[in-house]
Amino acid sequence: MTSVPGTSGAPDGAPDSEARNGSRGSGGNLQAPHRREAQGRRIRARTAVLAYRAGAWILARLPLGPAARVGGWFAVGVYWAWPARRRYVRANTARVLGVAPGDRRVGRLARAVYRNQVRWVLELMRLSRLPQAERTAQVEDDAAAPFHAAWQTSKGLIVVGAHLGNNEAAVAGLAGRGWPINAVADDTAYEELFQLLNEERRSWGVKQIPWRNLREVFRVLRRHEIVALLVDWGYRPDGIPVRFFGAWTRFPAGPAVLAARTGATILPAWVIRSGDRHLTEVGAQITVVSDEPAELARATQEIATALEAGIRLAPEQWCVFKPIWPGDPAEAARLESLGRELDAGTPAPGDAAAAGPTPPSVTGAGA
């Protein structure tokens, strides 16, 4: 965090000149803006950890079904209370359904997305309290076999998924078989909650890697281990253009760049909740032979196509609360032009994602 103007370069958390001078005047108890912001983050982080621990304690003593029903009522309340997020979810679900955002089916599907997000949180709270054998059984042997075959024949395996169903159940089930699973996760929101989840995942046999630690991601792939990550964290202008549900957007180049530079294999995968079971499926394996823009674009498009097929199976379980497609028509038109140029093998020289192989952030999984 940069210094706040007027603090004379005081480091974060240090008393700044405004606070020191104000302490002798009428505003002596007023904290500087950066200190109020930091304090607010700490309070939110501690609240999140306490809420998670309390929820896990309650779920250890209650059946999941009734808790999910009550949580679903709360989720619908959040849907109506948070207009910005509601618009994002409705726009995404409208695109999946291929209808206008005002269509009544969009509202029904969007509310189902909120309910499924709460269900995922409850299942996550409960997962660490299951016996090891029961966690491993989250992925049945027939569903685990394609992962094992792809891993054994690869030089490292990159499992790429979306926020669909319950990915936590899948990685716990695979790690329970003794496979070296590394989950790339976002550690930027609530550090204390990230650490708590890190401890829980480690107890399942899953190693968690902060998404900014690219060095460690490369290291585990070169050891021929498995890296799991998600790619649908919202629209970013530095990704690779792909067609997704009939419209142009961007997906992160990270998986394709990692595969090109390590020789690892990409395996798209998705998890669908069916009652109390988690059905895990995989798409076709993807190899990336170079980090040329056209090759990265081809591989990233194959990822998008595979994940679209998985999401179509259960769109109500695709829980994404950020825009996936650009909202600006001019940006959408520019993106389509860039995508078609990539298809033709002539990327525009000014487009960073299309013109250069520099590895972007590998956006995370699950936290």
Same domain, 258 and 339: yes
**248 shares a domain with 109:** no
**253 and 109 housed in the same domain:** no
Residues 209 and 283 in one domain: yes
Phi-psi map region of 350: left, alpha, beta (phi>0 left; psi -120 to 50 alpha): alpha
pLDDT at res. 211 = 86
Residue at 26 is within a domain = no
pLDDT at residue 39 in the model: 63
pLDDT of amino acid 206: 95
In a domain, 241, yes or no: yes
Q: Residue 18 falls within a domain, yes or no?
A: no
| Same domain, residue pair 113 and 82 | yes
Do 250 and 282 share a structural domain? Answer: yes
3-state secondary structure the chain: CCCCCCCCCCCCCCCCHHHHHHCCCCCCCCCCHHHHHHHHHHHHHHHHHHHHHHHHHHHCCCCHHHHHHHHHHHHHHHHHHCHHHHHHHHHHHHHHHCCCCCCHHHHHHHHHHHHHHHHHHHHHHHHCCCCHHHHHCCCCHHHHHHHHHHHHCCCCEEEEECCECCHHHHHHHHHCCCCCEEEEECCCCCHHHHHHHHHHHHHHCEEEEECCCHHHHHHHHHCCCEEEEECCCCCCCCCEEEEECCEEEEECCHHHHHHHHHCCEEEEEEEEEECCEEEEEECCCECCCCCCHHHHHHHHHHHHHHHHHHHHHCHHHECCCCCCCCCCHHHHHHHHHHHHHHHCCCCCCCCHHHHCCCCCCCCCCCC
Q: Is residue 364 part of a domain?
A: no
pLDDT at 186: 80
Tell me which amino acid residue 193 is: L
228 in a structural domain: yes
Decide if 295 is inside a domain.
yes
Domain identity same for 153 and 200: yes
One domain for residues 277 and 298: yes
Residue 307: domain span: 132-320+333-355
Given 88, 104, 127, which residue is the final one in a domain? 127
Residue 30 included in any domain: no
Number of domains forming the structure of the chain: 2
- Angle at which helices 191-204 and 33-59 pack, to 10 degrees? 30
Q: What is the pTM of this model?
A: 0.82
Instruction: Look at residue 189 in the predicted model and tell me its pLDDT.
Output: 67
127, 156, 189 - which closes a domain: 127
Q: Do the domain assignments include residue 326?
A: no
Last residue of a domain, one of 79, 107, 127: 127
Residues 243 and 168 in one domain: yes
Whether 218 and 311 share a structural domain: yes
Domain match, 156 and 211 both: yes
Q: Confirm if 244 and 304 have CB atoms less than 8 A apart.
A: yes
Residues 227, 313 within the same domain: yes
Q: What pLDDT was estimated at residue 342? A: 76
pLDDT by residue for the chain (367 residues), tens digit each?
A: 433 333 333 333 333 333 334 444 444 444 444 444 566 667 777 787 888 888 778 777 778 888 899 999 999 999 999 999 999 999 999 999 999 999 999 999 999 999 999 999 999 988 888 899 999 999 999 999 999 999 999 999 999 999 999 999 999 999 999 999 999 988 666 778 888 888 999 999 999 999 889 999 999 999 999 999 999 999 998 999 999 999 999 999 999 999 999 999 999 999 999 887 899 999 999 999 999 999 999 999 999 999 999 999 999 999 999 999 998 899 989 998 888 887 776 555 445 454 333 333 343 344 3
